[in-house]
Amino acid sequence: MKTVVIVSHPNIASSSTQQFLREAAAEPNVTWHVPTDQPLDIPAEQALIRDADRLIFQFPLYWYSAPASLKAWEDTVLTRSFDYPSVGGALVGKELGLVISLGQPAAHYTAGAPEQFSLSQLTTPYQALAHRLGMTWLPSFVVDQFGYQTETEKMHLLVDYQRYLTQEPLTHFSDQVNWTVRKLKAVSETQPDADQQKIGLVIDQISQNAATLSDLQDTLALLKDGGED
């Protein structure tokens, strides 16, 4: 699976969030792309996303939407002849997701909280875009108040972000387990023997936990079936 991340930020070099995510995105089959050409090279941009299976728009939320540069990219690159399903639909069946960074706590984005509207409401224009182009909409990945995060929180963020870019499919817990085990095995291969053994123990534990969870789910399903008779 190939992933393309279109990054929109007025000053990426000065954004600690974007620099952190850029390092985390340095994975096989992930392309980190900051459209900066003026004017944009439309055929090159179209070729890039035509080649992707998962397309990610990544941006800080400015006035409840992406910065103007992403809208300019949409207005220019997503031409009717390129991507409308009725005329060939270059993006049909691909996935579309958003990575949104927030200066406010994520909890502020709900009815009754300071921002009043949820991110699911505010991202409706992108959901409509996915619908129109025949793409599958992914749950958004939210990074809130990166500057206040502890080192441990940042490590969780790094792994979750890598999963968001590369785990396939994205939504099931069992796929998350498989992704984690594959990732640990890949890391293990680059380590000295002693560390490989330790990582092996972690993998065994994860696999064992996953098996236990699966057994518990089976038991739960049986109990439910009985209760519904």
Q: Which residues bind its own copies (CB under 8 A)?
A: 10, 62-69, 71-72, 74-75, 78, 115-117, 121-122, 124-129, 131-132
- Cβ at position 85, least distance to its own copies in Å: 11
| Smallest distance, its own copies to C-beta of residue 128, A | 4
Distance CA 218, CA 169 (A): 22
For residue 20, the minimal CB distance to its own copies (Å) is: 23
Compare residues 128 and 223 and give the one whose CB is closer to its own copies: 128
Burial 96-134 (b: 16+ CB within 10 A, else e): bbbbbbbeeebeebeeeeebeeebeebbeebbebbeebb
* Residue 94 contacts residue 137 (beta carbons within 8 Å): no
Residue closer to its own copies by CB (options 128, 213) is 128
Nearest approach in angstroms of CB 105 to its own copies is 15
Compute the least distance from the CB of residue 182 to its own copies, in Å.
Answer: 36
Beta bridge partners of 141: 99
Query: In sequence order, which residues have a C-beta less than 8 Å from that of residue 69 and are 6 or more positions away?
Result: 8, 9, 10, 35
Going by the DSSP 8-state scheme, the letter that residue 209 receives in this structure is H
Q: From CA 224, how far away is CA 229, in angstroms rounded? A: 9
CB nearer to its own copies: give 8 or 166.
8
In whole angstroms, how close is the CB of 87 to its own copies at the nearest point? 15
Q: Which is nearer to its own copies, 126 or 161 (CB)?
A: 126
Structure tokens that stand for 149 in this block = 């995060």
Contact residues for 83 (Cβ-Cβ < 8 A; gap 6+): 89, 90, 91, 133
Nearer to its own copies, 68 or 92 (CB): 68
Question: Toward its own copies, which CB reaches closer, 116 or 214?
Answer: 116
